[in-house]
Structure 1
């Protein structure tokens, strides 16, 4: 029986993920399978892969043929490299210790490369988040300025400006009118007091002038002339 290592679709609409299975090559894609050896989720970045390394290696050694997508997955996980190294041990090119050393060196370099990719992705995400945050700040600032301007215009339109101007004018007229009456009373009182003083002093000064006038002395002179 020819066996294949392939993907079996799972998940919902527009969000698929896959199981890595070993099945008969004649079975339908989503039909029965012999064994499930892992899963593959392409919706994350990077894609999430879980794999039973030993079982995948076993099925490859027994002749199972992977599909193109599964071959790429197995290559990234190092299953194909481990199969190649074990083939070199079988042929006598090197021993198992050397094969294990080479595989560990490849695994370390692969992990470092994956870490660099993850760091780069995280840095890019932080930069994008910062750009979005700055854009949101600018939008919020423009909105707050527009809102403040609108409120100021509404307050200026609703402010009772004419009433505030008339109220001080009325208060000023009232304040001026109140002290005007007592000033008039004081003026009248001063005039009434000064008038009698002027009347009393006038006869006192004129009386002696009338008495000293030589009107009576001239009369005898006229009589003497007439006698002569």
Structure 2
């Protein structure tokens, strides 16, 4: 029976969620499977991958063929590396302890790379947020300046109207007082 390691789709339309399974190659994509090896959620940022590496290696060593996407996921999580190291143990090139040490070193190095990549993403997001905030501050300052200018113009108009009204009243009073002086 040919066995494949492949993805089995779950989730809603537009929100895919996959199980990584070992299944008979003749079974339907979302049908019967032999063993669930892990999950893969491409919707999250970064994509979430949980994988049982030991079970995956067991299936790979027994001849299971991964699909292209499944092979990338297995390689990313280290299952292909562990299979390679265990092949070296079988041939006598390494001891099991050396193989496990090399695998753990590889995992820690990979983890460091992933953390630095996540930090870079976080820094770029923070920089984008700061740029957006600065642009918003500039727009707000511009709006406040325009509002202040409009308010100053209105205050100047009100003041000019008040002065004109006061001048008109004083002109009306002035001729009346001049008439009283003449009489």
Normalised by the length of structure 1, the TM-score is: 0.68
Per the TM alignment, residue 87 of structure 1 is displaced from its structure 2 partner at its CA by: 1.2
Matched residue, 1:6: 6
1:44 matched to 2:44: yes
Looking at structure 1, the residues matched to 81 and 101 of structure 2 have their Cα atoms a distance apart, in angstroms, of 12
Separation (CA, whole Å) in 2 of partners of 1:152 and 1:28: 75
**CA distance 1:82–1:139, change in 2 (3 Å):** same
Spell out the pairing of 1:108-187 with structure 2 (5 A cutoff). Answer: 108-156=108-156, 161=161, 162-169=164-171
**Kindly tell me: are residues 25 and 171 of structure 1, through their superposed partners in 2, closer, same or farther at Cα, counting changes over 3 Å?**
farther
Which has the higher mean CA deviation after the structures are superposed, 67-76 or 137-146? Answer: 137-146
Cα distance in 2 between the residues matched to 1:26 and 1:152? 80
Task: Please list the CA deviations of residues 116-155 of structure 1 after superposition, one character each: whole Å capped at 9, or x if unmatched.
Answer: 1111111111111111111111122222222333344445
Equivalent residue, structure 2, for 1:224: none
**1:156 to partner: Cα distance:** 4.7
For the residue of structure 2 that corresponds to 1:33, the secondary structure is coil
More relative contact order, 1 or 2 (CA 8 Å, 6+ apart): 2
Equivalent position of 1:103 in the other structure: 103
**Quick one: distance in 1 between partners of 2:128 and 2:119?**
14
What does 1:189-200 align with in structure 2 at a 5 Å threshold? none
Cα 1:149–1:2 shift into 2, 3 Å? same
Question: Relative to 1, partners in 2 of residues 1:138 and 1:165: Cα closer, same or farther, differing over 3 Å?
Answer: same
SS of 1:59's equivalent?
Answer: helix
Instruction: For residues 1-52 of structure 1, give each alpha carbon's deviation from its aligned partner in whole angstroms, at most 9, with x where no partner exists.
Output: 2221111223333332322122221122222323222111223333221112
Aligned residue pairs, count: 180
Inter-CA distance 47–167: structure 2 relative to 1 (3 Å threshold): same
Distance 2:9 2:170 in 1: 85
Instruction: Indicate how the Cα distance of structure 1 residues 15 and 89 shifts in structure 2: closer, same or farther if over 3 A, else same.
Output: same
User: With structure 2 as the length reference, what TM-score do the two structures score?
Assistant: 0.83
Larger helix fraction of residues: 1
Gaps of 5+ in 1: 185-228
Query: Which residue matches 1:71?
Result: 71
